[in-house]
Amino acid sequence: MSHYCRIVDTPSSSAEMSSKLNESATDQEIHESHSPHFMGHENSDVRREAMFESSSNLLLDALSPKQRTFIQSHARLVTLGAKEVLYEPDETPKFAHFLTAGIASIVGVMSSGANAEVGIWGKEGMAECFHLLGTAYIPTRCFMQVEGAALRVPFRDMQTQFRENDEFRECVMQSVQSQGAILQQLAACNRLHEAEERLARWFLMVRDRLESDTFYLTQEFLAVMLGSRRTTVTAAAGALQRKGLIRYSRGRIYLVDPAGLEKEACECYPTVREIYQNFYNRMAVG
């Protein structure tokens, strides 16, 4: 009997910052902005409960009920704090993570210790999907950039499913193809477009995955995302703030005018948005 990956529609989704962002955020600010409790103790439990109430992941949603139930029966729902590492370069992951909330960064690491973000994962797939394809060296690391939650499954179980289950394998391959297309677009974007355009594009990509206009990131993280100096981040974020498109305070980012931000973003944003919104196409397998 044939199986199908179903089409999943993804939703498209008070102090003002000074004209120039503070270039030297304190260690305390960095710690607070990455802490799971940064939003305040009174809100952290509510947020964590919301993470567990919503166990949606687009890859799992694209599977047949039988296959989805099988994977969920082997999974454990876990919270993932900011900076928590999902996998390291050239290592076979111990677990597979189907994110249901939050953002994970795929980061290229240089021998000097410098690093830059080359992609992100939200709830559209499995963060370790590239590792399922074979034994090739994976030079990137992946860690949580915005705290969240995931269905965690032993990686060996997913390797077995990938080898033996046509439906799961086809959906993973579709996920890899879509993510690869996004990575290719971002590689060109990082080479050809200015920091302000790229920052606007990236804020919108995060918004699409979190389905929220507010999130928490420091200049340290933004510099990794842009692959630029913090002074460059300061200038780009400051320009967007002066245009009334964002507000930024101690790691908290407000997208004040998402429509205006989209006009400021480079042409890569509508391209990656379309890929994201159509991550899983209907296909017959087996």
- What lies within 8 Å, CB to CB, of 117 at 6+ separation is 105, 106, 107, 108, 224, 225, 227
What class is the 33-285 domain? mainly beta
- The tokens 């499954």 sit on which residue? 153
Q: Give residue 236's Cα distance to chain centre.
A: 21
- What lies within 8 Å, CB to CB, of 187 at 6+ separation is 118
How would you write the pLDDT of the chain (286 residues) with one tens digit per residue?
444 444 344 444 333 333 333 433 333 333 333 333 333 333 444 444 444 444 589 999 999 999 999 999 999 999 999 999 999 999 999 999 999 999 999 998 888 877 788 889 999 999 999 999 999 999 999 999 999 999 999 999 999 999 999 999 999 999 999 999 998 998 888 888 999 999 999 999 999 999 999 998 877 778 777 777 888 888 999 999 999 999 988 778 999 999 999 999 999 999 999 999 888 864 434 3
Q: Using CA atoms, how far apart are residues 3 and 259, in angstroms rounded to an integer?
A: 39
CA neighbours closer than 13 Å in the CB half-sphere of residue 51: 26
Query: Taking the domains of the chain in order of start, what are their residue ranges?
Result: 33-285
DSSP string, 4-61: EEPP-PPP---PPPPSS--SS--HHHHHHHHSTTTT-HHHHHHHHHHHHH----HHHH
Six-digit token string for 85: 């590492």
Report the predicted TM-score, pTM, of the whole model to 2 decimal places. 0.78
